[in-house]
Structure 1
């Protein structure tokens, strides 16, 4: 099992992590501008794009029987490729991986950028604790499970609907065309990798962990994001010791395509925050 990592550009090391069911080609429209400021490392997550999938021997440990096992396994694989003193930028699910990497590798990861990220994708209520432990800024678990069922029946149609949801609330209709163009250019993702990723979405809860991050953090989020609630971004900003929150108007789940110049400039500013 190996990861496909493409490295281009010169400057501080910037690792880019895509979201669930996508691949590193999603960064195509911003990578040339970023490469003028950074040494980019574009990662295809396990089973996505040009990276090989999960080993059949590892899949059972990654999926339902071991909560958090899939996320831990992905993080361990990505950690092997991290350069020293790097910035890790993760979009959506990639943002959760960035959070875990910041905690696991505090010496190598000097800053992180969380793009359309949430610490917990699903709504939850804890009957044994006060209401402050409830999480209302997520999707209904039943909705996500239905999505998983539809995905198995008709992957391509379900993914096209998912892309439409990602651009909901965005004023620039070109973003949807960009997503559709990128989606299948590297073939279908590995089925086990998709299953593992869905398990992460259903089970991961990083709310307690996020408070332990000491590195500077950029939070870049669309005001109209229909997948990761904007209030989840605001909550993270309040919990983190050293963070900048950029909330973008008329923007859905893909803010780096809706606001490419502001995205690049924000990462450049982040890279200078530790100097």
Structure 2
């Protein structure tokens, strides 16, 4: 049985935080402690990341099922960031009776740009997949740099993310590869449209990975969805604009 590393802060209604590609629960620490003033916050390392066990085979289904099995409460709110948002959508689709609300933070149900949907250019992800096979550490650092690109304090943010990355062992290379493949191949727009719980999307207005046009595209397919954009924020608003993000979460909850 796969065992996933979990950290729990606070008491009350459970909020599960699912981190992004190549990271671990440490990236949430300050934000999770602040949120824990009002909620029970459950941070979980993705399979093959941080202190979590590896999976025999990685896929969107196997990773989301492992997360669902590891969460120690029956019902919860889930907040997924970046790749974690893709996994959170899958979790809400697969186990609707357990998920009370879905927060998509700096995420996109269809991460790669298509003819009818805004997203990352396929060539960008292909380049990361190729680089990963050559040098995983350099690829992770380049991905981190893309997340903070354009922010006024990008060098400080990048250093913070690098330091957090080093607090845990390097992720499983197969998990890293699978994560990029999941982002490249997954189209969860239909799944998202059939989720019955409240869905709240929060993007950074200056995010270089998730275009602002995603908000308008989501509004068209889901008129009931709640959409928010944090001014001047990039891909890591829980680090750069934590007070605004906390206010949005508390208001929605």
TM value normalised by structure 1: 0.86
Match 1:219 to one of 198, 201, 205: 201
Is it true that 1:49 corresponds to 2:50 in the alignment?
Answer: yes
Matches within 5 A, 1:180-199: 180-199=162-181
Q: Hey, what's the Cα distance between the residues in 2 that align with 1:238 and 1:176? A: 35
Match 1:254 to one of 236, 243, 251: 236
Structure 2 unmatched ranges of 5 or more: none
Equivalent in the alignment of 2:146: 165
What's the Cα RMSD here? 1.6
Q: Hey, what's the Cα distance between the residues in 1 that align with 2:109 and 2:160? A: 27
Q: Hey, what's the Cα distance between the residues in 2 that align with 1:162 and 1:192? A: 17
Equivalent in the alignment of 1:67: none
User: 1:99-132: CA deviations, max 9, x gaps?
Assistant: 112222222111111100101121234xxxxxxx
Q: Hey, what's the Cα distance between the residues in 1 that align with 2:249 and 2:124? A: 33
My pick for the range that moved more, 9-18 or 161-170, is 161-170
Q: Hey, what's the Cα distance between the residues in 2 that align with 1:234 and 1:186? A: 37
Structure 1 unmatched ranges of 5 or more: 63-69, 126-133
User: 1:51-98: CA deviations, max 9, x gaps?
Assistant: 01122xxx2xx4xxxxxxx10111111111332331100001111111
Q: Hey, what's the Cα distance between the residues in 1 that align with 2:109 and 2:79? A: 15
Q: Hey, what's the Cα distance between the residues in 2 that align with 1:115 and 1:185? A: 23
My pick for the range that moved more, 10-19 or 146-155, is 146-155
Q: Hey, what's the Cα distance between the residues in 2 that align with 1:238 and 1:184? A: 41
My pick for the range that moved more, 160-169 or 237-246, is 237-246
Equivalent in the alignment of 2:22: 21
Q: Hey, what's the Cα distance between the residues in 1 that align with 2:89 and 2:6? A: 20
SS of 1:80's equivalent in the other structure is: helix
Equivalent in the alignment of 1:77: 66
Equivalent in the alignment of 1:239: 221
Equivalent in the alignment of 2:98: 108
Is the contact between residue 171 and residue 250 of structure 1 (CA under 8 Å) also seen in structure 2? no
SS of 1:247's equivalent in the other structure is: strand
Count residues with an aligned counterpart: 250
CA drift of 1:257 comes to 1.2
CA drift of 1:237 comes to 3.8
SS of 2:189's equivalent in the other structure is: coil
Equivalent in the alignment of 2:87: 97
TM value normalised by structure 2: 0.93
